[in-house]
């Protein structure tokens, strides 16, 4: 449990730092969440595929760090905000790139 908790804390802190930095750029599109989730899927694919990580390495990096780093809840709340703002084009692009891109990133990571 300590391994998962420590990894999760580090991943969440990195996500917080990146998100805070992005908000200072004053760009009205959730690119940072997209990049966080895509890189998280890629790295998890590498961990499970190429590195075949198990045990404590998977608990710390896969479950902990990447679990704290990636964020499905933020992705979904950002999409709901796009619905509320009637930003349909942005919503469709964000949805497709996030979900299809995440699958492709995980597949690429597992294939490396």
Known binding residues for Na(+)? 67, 70
Query: 43-58: buried (b, 16+ CB within 10 Å) or exposed (e) per residue?
Result: bbbbbbbebebeeeeb
Residues making up the binding site: 67, 70
Q: Do residues 108 and 96 touch, judged by C-beta distance below 8 A?
A: no
CA nearest neighbour of 37 among 10, 60, 67: 67
What the block records as the tokens of 62 is: 């896969």
Rounded to 10 degrees, what is the CA torsion of 13, 29, 70, 65? -30
């Amino acid at each position: 449990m300590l391994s998962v908790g420590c990894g999760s804390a580090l991943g969440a802190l990195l996500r917080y730092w990146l998100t805070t930095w992005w908000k200072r750029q004053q760009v009205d599109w959730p690119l940072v969440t997209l990049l966080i989730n895509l890189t998280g899927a890629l790295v998890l694919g590498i961990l499970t595929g190429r590195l075949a990580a198990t045990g404590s390495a998977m608990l710390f990096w896969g479950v902990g760090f990447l679990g704290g780093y990636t964020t499905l809840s933020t992705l979904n709340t950002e999409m709901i905000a796009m619905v509320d703002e009637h930003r349909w084009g942005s919503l469709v692009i964000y949805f497709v790139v996030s979900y299809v891109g995440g699958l492709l990133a995980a597949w690429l990571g597992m294939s490396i």
